[in-house]
Structure 1
Amino acid sequence: MNYTDTVNWMFSQLPMYQNKGQSAYKADLSNIILLADHLKHPENQFKSVHVAGTNGKGSTSHMLASILQEANYTVGLYTSPHLKDFRERIKINGQCISKQFVIQFIKRNKAFFEQQKFSFFEMTVGMAFEYFAKNKVDIGIIEVGLGGRLDSTNIIIPEVSVITNIGYDHTPFLGKSMSQIAKEKGGIIKSKIPVVIGETQEETKSIFRKLADDHSSKITFADQRTDVSSYKSDLLGSYQKHNIRTAVQTIEELTYKGFDISNDHIRSGLLNVIKNTGLLGRWQILQTNPKVICDTAHNKEGLIYIMNQLGTEKYDHLHFVLGFVKEKNLDEIIRLFPKKASYYFCKPQIERGMNAIELKAEFVKRNYKGEVYNSVKNALKSALKNAKNDDLIYVGGSTFVVAEIL
Structure 2
Amino acid sequence: MGRRTPIEGEAAAGSSTAAEPSIFRNGNFRRLFAANSVSLYGSQVSYLAVPLTAVTALDASAAQVGLLGVLSTVSFLLIGLPAGVWVDRMRRRPIMFTADFGRALLLGSIPVAWLFDALTLTQLYLVVFVSGTLTVFSDISAQSFLPSIVPRERLLQANGYIGSVRESSGVAGPSLSGLLLQLMAAPAAVLVDALGFLLSGILISRIERVDESHTGAAEKKALYRGIWEGVRFVFSHPLLRPIAMAGAITNFSLQMVTIMLPLLFEHTLHFSAWKLGLYLAVGGVGSLIGAYTGPRLAERVGQGSVLWLAGLVTAPFACLVPLVDGGAVYWVSAVCWLVVTYRMGMNSVVLVSFRQRVTPNDLLGRMNATMRFALTGATALGAGASGLVGEFFGVRASLYVGAVGLAVAWLPYVFSPLRRMKTLP
| TM-score, normalized by the shorter chain, greater than 0.5 | no
Query: TM-score scaled to structure 1, two decimals?
Result: 0.23
Structure number with higher strand proportion? 1
Query: TM-score scaled to structure 2, two decimals?
Result: 0.23
